Chain A
């Protein structure tokens, strides 16, 4: 049989701008860039920490510049987008969740996941700010010597 001649249309480089579903996808993926950069900021801080107090204070002074605070504000917004979208995708990696014979809607998973994230966040904030309830504070002190959190 003769080979059928076909025309293959090239994929335009801006394909992801042509459909709202693709734009939302790319925004979700963009959160990864901010986590990557944030991890590098922390690694840089760790390096400063290992070099002594002067280097570490230099790193902290840099964090206090308006540009770095602005970066972290944008990063926090993308991290929030990541939290929500992560729990939207997570149930797709497991067999269909059923509770009492009924399919658990994705929205319920998102509410539980974001709720868990909020609870952990509240705990970490309270720990760092030194406002944990006495019982919890005692338990944390047994795990981590006094001095603060990362």
Chain B
């Protein structure tokens, strides 16, 4: 093809069985204008070096698997195009602030614990029998949480958060956004179910409003808003007036 060009991709390599620390490896990758960084990595794996490790699944910004640092910024590699980075080089590294498992794959275990801690499911006041049919919501009730429900757990926001980098125990932007998403859902009991996580020293109070999380989110979620709205909720709870002033 005439519109094939070549770009250099520098990938961080780390093999936990043989390496004591990571190094960068260079690959010369031919690409066409329709190729994403993810497709560049797949070219490397298929044609140049089968040992390069990275996560991916859907190729269309839905699954949240392929997040990585591309030239020092957190991006989904499936929706970042090599043509936009030409002439390169393109430096790809695992997401910042996470332990590196192998090459571009990070250890997500800590995040999964945090996700469990915020109870990412609807907790209703009473069991609803199936015979009652679907729980209906008005468009306004859906609007209240819709933005936050778009989170795909890609963890770009954690790579954008220096507070998480400095304190790995911080529950962090995505999990706190999902905490807010369920608290705002009219089918959920709300605040009291997840108050212990929000109120914790590793909860909303670890945030210093850098705001970069909201800039890098590929799905338009605003974690900075979720976290800081819950600082007010947590402060009211602390003063014992949360219930008096209402709100979810």
List A residues at the B interface (Cβ < 8 Å). 4-9, 11, 15-16, 18-19, 21-22, 25, 29, 89, 92-96
User: What CA separation (Å) do A85 and B73 show in the bound complex?
Assistant: 23
With beta carbons under 8 angstroms apart, the residue of A6, A15, A19, A93 that contacts B229 is A93
Do B224 and A21 have beta carbons less than 8 Å apart? no
User: What CA separation (Å) do A96 and B211 show in the bound complex?
Assistant: 16
List B residues at the A interface (Cβ < 8 Å). 14, 16-17, 19, 21-22, 72-73, 96-97, 99-101, 107, 162, 165-166, 208-212, 215, 222, 224-225, 228-229, 231-232, 247
Collect the chain B residues with CB atoms within 8 Å of residue A96's CB.
225
Nearest-neighbour CB distance to chain A for B17, whole angstroms, equals: 8
Collect the chain A residues with CB atoms within 8 Å of residue B16's CB.
4-7
Do B73 and A9 have beta carbons less than 8 Å apart? no
Do A4 and B107 have beta carbons less than 8 Å apart? yes
Nearest-neighbour CB distance to chain A for B227, whole angstroms, equals: 8
Do A92 and B229 have beta carbons less than 8 Å apart? yes
Q: Knowing that A11-B165, A15-B165, A92-B224 are A-B contacts, what are 17 other residue pairs whose CB atoms are under 8 Å apart, sorted by A's residue number?
A: A4-B101, A5-B17, A6-B100, A7-B14, A7-B19, A8-B100, A15-B162, A18-B72, A19-B72, A19-B73, A25-B212, A89-B211, A92-B209, A92-B228, A93-B229, A94-B229, A95-B247
Question: Given A21-B210, A22-B210, A6 and B162 touching (CB < 8 A)?
Answer: no
User: What CA separation (Å) do A34 and B73 show in the bound complex?
Assistant: 31
Residue from A5, A6, A19, A94 whose CB has the most chain B CB atoms within 10 Å: A6
User: What CA separation (Å) do A93 and B232 show in the bound complex?
Assistant: 6
Collect the chain B residues with CB atoms within 8 Å of residue A21's CB.
210-212, 215
User: What CA separation (Å) do A94 and B212 show in the bound complex?
Assistant: 19
Instruction: Report the nearest A residue to B72, measured CB to CB.
Output: A18
Instruction: Report the nearest B residue to A7, measured CB to CB.
Output: B100
